[in-house]
Amino acid sequence: MNQSAKMIVVLSVFAVLSGAILAGFYHSVHPRILKNKLEEERKMIFAVLEGSKSYDTVEKTIKGAKGPEIVKIFVGKDESGNIVGYAFTAKGPGFAGTIEVVVGLKLDKKTMFGLRVLNQKETPGLGTKIAQEKFTGQFKGLSIEPKIEYVKNKKPTKPNEIQAVTGATISSRAVVNAVNARVAAVLDILKEENAPPEAEEGGANGRR
């Protein structure tokens, strides 16, 4: 019986020590980890909202395809505190995994500032081209009405069209679908939150 008791005691002591060490270490580095996450968020937002120097976050829970989802809208502001635009993330299934993008929406809520790809695991050399400026640059000033569309192997003709990456239609389409799906929810939330009315001169100072 002594052996078993010894085993239990030793393991328990180890377990408690382990827990204590981990708890202590975690709490000492946790603030740093949070800071990193925040820094990442800031970089992402400022990349798609030109001219913004700070932002507020609007969070809302909506009914998603998989149950309740939290949607975050980042309201970017310039130095004077005027709203510059709205940023939000969108994600959807791509060719080989989930693609996540961040979108910048202009004050008029009809055109985009631009888009950046945050996470993707698409086929290197093909699908990964969606992360390059050649593809994402097309979203600068793109109209989102009635919805974003893509064309293959020819130049886009309408203000809401972009050209898919040759040989990576599925990846390109995933980006378009993800943005379209999310934009509707974002516009709804903005309407509810009584976002400032559309800018008359299309600038950061557009406020009635």
Partner 1 sequence: MRLILIFISAAVVNNFVLAYFLGICPFLGVSKRLDTAVNMGFATTFVMTLTAVITWLLNEYVIIKFNLPFLQTVSYIIAIAALVQFVEMFIKKSSPPLYRSLGIYLPLITTNCAVLGLALFASLREYSFIESVFFGVGTGVGFTLALIVMSGIREELDFAEIPKSLQGVPITLLIAGMLALAFMGFAGLLSV
Partner 2 sequence: MADDKSLFSVFKNGIWTENTITVIVLGMCPTLATSNSASGALAMGLAATFVIICSSAMVSMVRNIVPGGVRIAAYVLIMATFVTVADFYLQAFFPEMSKVLGAYVALIVVNCMILARAEIFACKNGIAPSMADALGTGIGFTWVLLVLSFIREILGSGSIFGFVILSENVFNPWVVMILPPGAFITLGLFIGGINYFTKHRGASR
Between 14 and 79, whose beta carbon lies closer to partner 2? Answer: 14
The DSSP bridge pattern shows strands 149-151 and 112-119 to be unpaired
Say which amino acid occupies 64. G
Q: Contact, 162 vs 170, CB < 8 A?
A: no
Between 96 and 181, whose beta carbon lies closer to partner 1? Answer: 96
Contact between 94 and partner 1 per CB under 8 A: yes
Region from 55-63, 90-98, 132-140, 182-190 binding partner 1, contact rule CB under 8 A: 90-98
Q: Contact, 107 vs 83, CB < 8 A?
A: yes
Contact between 9 and partner 1 per CB under 8 A: no
Q: Which residue of 26, 39, 43, 56 would you call a contact of partner 1, by CB under 8 A?
A: 26
Per-residue burial over 21-34, b = 16 or more CB atoms within 10 Å of its CB, e = otherwise:
eeeeeeeeeeeeee
DSSP string, 16-46: HHHHHHHHHHHHHHHHHHHHHHHHHHHHHHH
Partner from partner 2, partner 1, none binding residue 94, C-beta < 5-8 Å depending on class? partner 1
Closest approach, Cβ 25 to partner 1, in A, equals 7
Between 96 and 195, whose beta carbon lies closer to partner 1? Answer: 96
What is the C-alpha separation between 103 and 48, in angstroms, rounded?
6
Closest approach, Cβ 16 to partner 1, in A, equals 12
Partner from partner 1, partner 2, none binding residue 93, C-beta < 5-8 Å depending on class? partner 1
Secondary element (H or E) of residue 183: helix 169-192
Q: Residue 11 contacts by C-beta under 8 Å, 6 or more apart in sequence?
A: none
Q: Which residue of 67, 68, 81, 125 would you call a contact of partner 2, by CB under 8 A?
A: 125
Contact between 38 and partner 2 per CB under 8 A: no
Residues that bind partner 2 (CB under 8 A): 3, 6-7, 10-11, 14-15, 18, 21-22, 25-26, 29, 32-33, 36, 40, 123-125
